[in-house]
Structure 1
């Protein structure tokens, strides 16, 4: 049943109905952001923001002010998860700023919410030398988790580079937003050293720049035999780093790179040590497709500016082909403006590719693929396989239907026939909201169609995901995904509020010149 609180937003219902009269978009018809928002659009999107904020509030534990990781679709207090992460904590803070800017809550309420979180952060256990936060805390008490609440399995305390980056981004936004909160936010932020993750030798001694590790454990966990003992800062005891580095530029993990560079803890050259695609040689024939491109040199680093071609669209792929990887960092870093000939082009094309996959290839009648709750239980990565570097790929359906275009000239990589059909495609609304800044009309139409076709809207806004052929809905809310929705709405409706708060001072000084140096080899108009 649809809720009156959602539908009674003045002209919002009319705006949604008007959106549904349009023919479903395709890659050829995907629009840019040129069309201004109408009054009805604004009412509709503000209503979405109001309901989405309700879910964030329902996840908050009053004693600590921390948001749980997730809650069920009815927003029942008893269903709040007994764990949270630095990302979830940051998402609550930036969401409170957006809610205030949109008139959902007043300034005093927003300040009190954020102040409570800052107080709790100041007393949480952290890794002493790096100043980084652990990945899992009990949101009711703030204690570091050593046992997983859902099943009693052991938790080996871990410190993730990318999760800490989302929290650091939120702290930077808070400090630039509210003068009264700046000293506490800055004290927390100044203690976080992203250089602790930076392995300058990750790509060998001759490149001139290295990569970021995924994270580290203070003690070697028994289930991680590939963990690498080390200490890149030489501060305190050795730790045990993940066996992998974050080497792909077009991934959500670039937020850790942005924060390290913005804070002056990681050299700017690191930005060009990450791969756009891997080179088109048989050494890298495990990647999804054979890329095209050319070498360029930036800050003394030789870079292969590679791209894939999907349905005629030239695009720098993400690791898995998901919207979250491609677009979440742009909620804070104004990538499309600062990198007009790189990110500005690629974000538009990536969204067009997602639309083309959902409507033209898989013929779901819907689009928006990103990691989310699995409607059949648990959590899973979803994406467009053809737009991901990983050969195994994230897939758009629960049946894991993949494509393999082959890798010409390399053994054992002959192309395989394209799928005849796809299965039960899984769409997540947060992916569509992320597209609002890049294909506004298409995103508005898709959100309206989701509400028309499925029981996908509840008391806290859009539920987390829906399998579009069976109509199975994951009726729960995730702090991360709701935070992405509110972040996207804040940027669209409130003058790019998160980007404006992030991109001042050191972030602008160190990141803006960097993002303007390359083109990605992606044409402006396709």
Structure 2
């Protein structure tokens, strides 16, 4: 079925619906100068609610999944609004859970959306149980992410499963319909063949497999980066679980992941792939469900402290601002992968990868690590008004230096904002994910200690 392009009237309707049922304390009908009149909780609720709407009102209508991207100008250089994403949907269903729990939508409405998503996932293309990066949301057929990337993407699958396991725990002791949905999720979870992605039994996990090109992309995953959750879930699987040696030899490379060093005067304990300190999504994607508080293993004495320090490095670099970009400072920092002045880029705290672009998701999704500093950025950005804040929350990125303010969103950046605000406010997604017995078994298998 051919979709009629979204028009200005629909965008206006989305904006109005995003405000539905808001309490007076979190109203976003305000002049830009009113940002300092909101309490912290009202500000967080306003941002969380608007961002939730990306996945609720802005979700792809046939599948219920998260659109890979949404452009207010309706211009899509590569792939349009029919493209849905596995990893971004994993983050999105966690954002929807937070909205259900906060009453942004009713529990029944939330269950119906989750049923639609799971129904899509049961029928959509899979490859040895793993999902691709992209599908067509109307058909469930894989859309290639690259010339040889037309099959299973184990990292994106892990991001999706992290969300689904949280949904499972939300419904597993509920009504009969909720229990039935939880059982269907459990079946999808058990069907992911993590061991297949060891490529013939090697002690490392590979990112991709293609039905036409096999292992041609040749991407073994080593740490540290955003992929830690993939190894945790691979160990946790009750049907295709990897042995601990795959984590120790593949992810940690027999201890080579440990590399104490100092950046911006701040101590880091781990080796960051290709850089002294990575973009901030490395501190966020694995920890949307996995609680870093009290989490440690033999390679890292405190994952919370490590991720907090990575965040502080990012902030300190932006304050130092060695390239003298306009706007950078204590109330405007945050470098991570996002849209950029020249396409898409993984902005990071070094002069080579710093392009003068602030990505709101970077600081806002770090609120669990640096609440005071992240709220400072949130308040500042909210005060900037409509140039950076739209119907689905803060737009993906901007550059004051280049006077560049695109009104565009990416699912994988919006999701962590809503999820981490909720984790800071209540710990909801952490509690759900960490309560899953398989997750606990996986962490125990790999020698982690953690807060229960």
Would you call these one fold, judging by a TM-score over 0.5? yes
Q: 1:243 aligns with which of 192, 201, 218?
A: 218
Name whichever structure is richer in helix by fraction: 2
Who is 1:10 aligned against? 25
Partner deviation per Cα, 1:12-31 (whole Å, 9 max, x = no partner): 889x979879xxxxxxxxxx
Q: Is the CA contact (8 Å cut-off) linking 1:218 and 1:240 kept in structure 2?
A: no
Who is 2:292 aligned against? 335
Q: 2:272 aligns with which of 294, 318, 321?
A: 318
Q: How does 1:361-510 map to 2 (within 5 A)?
A: 361-362=321-322, 364-365=328-329, 366-374=332-340, 376=341, 378-385=343-350, 395-397=353-355, 425-453=356-384, 455-493=387-425, 495-504=426-435, 505-510=437-442
> Is 1:168 matched up with 2:161?
yes
Q: Is the CA contact (8 Å cut-off) linking 1:367 and 1:427 kept in structure 2?
A: yes
Distance 1:108 1:11 in 2: 24
Larger gyration radius, structure 1 or structure 2: 1
Q: Is the CA contact (8 Å cut-off) linking 1:369 and 1:383 kept in structure 2?
A: yes
> Is 1:96 matched up with 2:61?
no
Q: How does 1:141-290 map to 2 (within 5 A)?
A: 141-145=139-143, 157-179=150-172, 180=178, 181-199=181-199, 210-220=203-213, 239-248=214-223, 250-264=224-238, 265-274=241-250
Q: Is the CA contact (8 Å cut-off) linking 1:372 and 1:381 kept in structure 2?
A: yes
Q: Is the CA contact (8 Å cut-off) linking 1:71 and 1:477 kept in structure 2?
A: yes
Partner deviation per Cα, 1:260-291 (whole Å, 9 max, x = no partner): 01115112233333566x9xxxxxxxxxxxxx
How far off its partner does 1:154 sit? 6.3
How far off its partner does 1:200 sit? 8.0
Distance 1:200 1:473 in 2: 47
Q: How does 1:295-306 map to 2 (within 5 A)?
A: 301-302=254-255, 305-306=258-259
How far off its partner does 1:8 sit? 8.6
How far off its partner does 1:198 sit? 2.0
Q: How does 1:351-370 map to 2 (within 5 A)?
A: 351-362=311-322, 364-365=328-329, 366-370=332-336
- Aligned pair count? 405
Who is 1:403 aligned against? none
How far off its partner does 1:509 sit? 2.8
Structure 2 vs 1, CA of residues 302 and 485 (structure 1 numbering), >3 Å: closer, same or farther? closer
Gaps of 5+ in 1: 22-38, 203-209, 221-238, 279-300, 387-392, 398-424, 519-526
Q: The residue matched to 1:359 in structure 2 has which SS? A: helix
How far off its partner does 1:201 sit? 7.0
Q: Is the CA contact (8 Å cut-off) linking 1:368 and 1:432 kept in structure 2?
A: yes
Who is 2:4 aligned against? none
How far off its partner does 1:75 sit? 8.3
Gaps of 5+ in 2: 1-14, 173-177
Structure 2 vs 1, CA of residues 19 and 268 (structure 1 numbering), >3 Å: closer, same or farther? farther
Structure 2 vs 1, CA of residues 335 and 467 (structure 1 numbering), >3 Å: closer, same or farther? same
Distance 2:318 2:434 in 1: 34
Give RMSD over aligned pairs.
3.2
Distance 2:34 2:376 in 1: 9
**Range with greater deviation from structure 2 (346-355 or 311-320):** 311-320
How far off its partner does 1:92 sit? 2.9
Who is 1:285 aligned against? none
TM-score (norm 2): 0.80
How far off its partner does 1:302 sit? 4.9
TM-score (norm 1): 0.70
Q: Is the CA contact (8 Å cut-off) linking 2:364 and 2:417 kept in structure 1?
A: yes
Structure 2 vs 1, CA of residues 333 and 156 (structure 1 numbering), >3 Å: closer, same or farther? closer
Distance 1:67 1:201 in 2: 34
Who is 2:54 aligned against? 55
Structure 2 vs 1, CA of residues 385 and 272 (structure 1 numbering), >3 Å: closer, same or farther? farther
How far off its partner does 1:303 sit? 5.0
